[in-house]
């Protein structure tokens, strides 16, 4: 029989992400952030939410990524035609 403290610790452990889950989440958010950096004019990006605070529980449904965009033109880019 567990004490209340032991029971609570076991319950908390059952909610925490496993090392394998943490490794996979890290791999995935790194890939997404790298892709965003390549495709957007980002100033910076960072993780936010429960995952970044190390309070995420199982099952993990999302990772919050905050992206700060650089300056963007209010006009669409102009394309010039050749030979015109």
For 63-80, write each residue's pLDDT tens digit. 999 999 987 656 666 666
Give a yes or no: residue 79 inside a domain: no
Q: Which domain holds residue 27?
A: 4-69
Distance from C-alpha of 58 to C-alpha of 45, rounded to nearest angstrom = 25
List pLDDT tens digits, range 4-23. Answer: 999 999 999 999 999 999 99
Give a yes or no: residue 80 inside a domain: no
For the question of whether the overall pTM of this predicted structure is more than 0.85, the answer is no
Q: At residue 58, does pLDDT exceed 60?
A: yes
Our count of domains for the chain comes to 1
Give a yes or no: residue 20 inside a domain: yes
Distance from C-alpha of 66 to C-alpha of 25, rounded to nearest angstrom = 16
Give a yes or no: residue 77 inside a domain: no
Q: Residue written as tokens 């490794």?
A: 23
Residue 54 has what DSSP assignment? T
Q: Which of 8, 13, 16 is nearest to 56 (CA)?
A: 16
């Amino acid at each position: 029989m567990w004490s209340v403290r032991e029971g609570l610790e076991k319950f908390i452990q059952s909610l925490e992400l496993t090392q394998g889950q943490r490794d996979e989440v890290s791999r995935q958010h790194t890939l997404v952030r790298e892709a965003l950096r390549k495709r957007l004019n980002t100033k910076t990006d960072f993780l936010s939410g429960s995952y970044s605070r190390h309070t995420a529980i199982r099952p993990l449904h999302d990772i919050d990524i905050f992206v700060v965009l650089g300056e963007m033109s209010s006009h669409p880019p102009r394309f010039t035609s050749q030979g015109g």
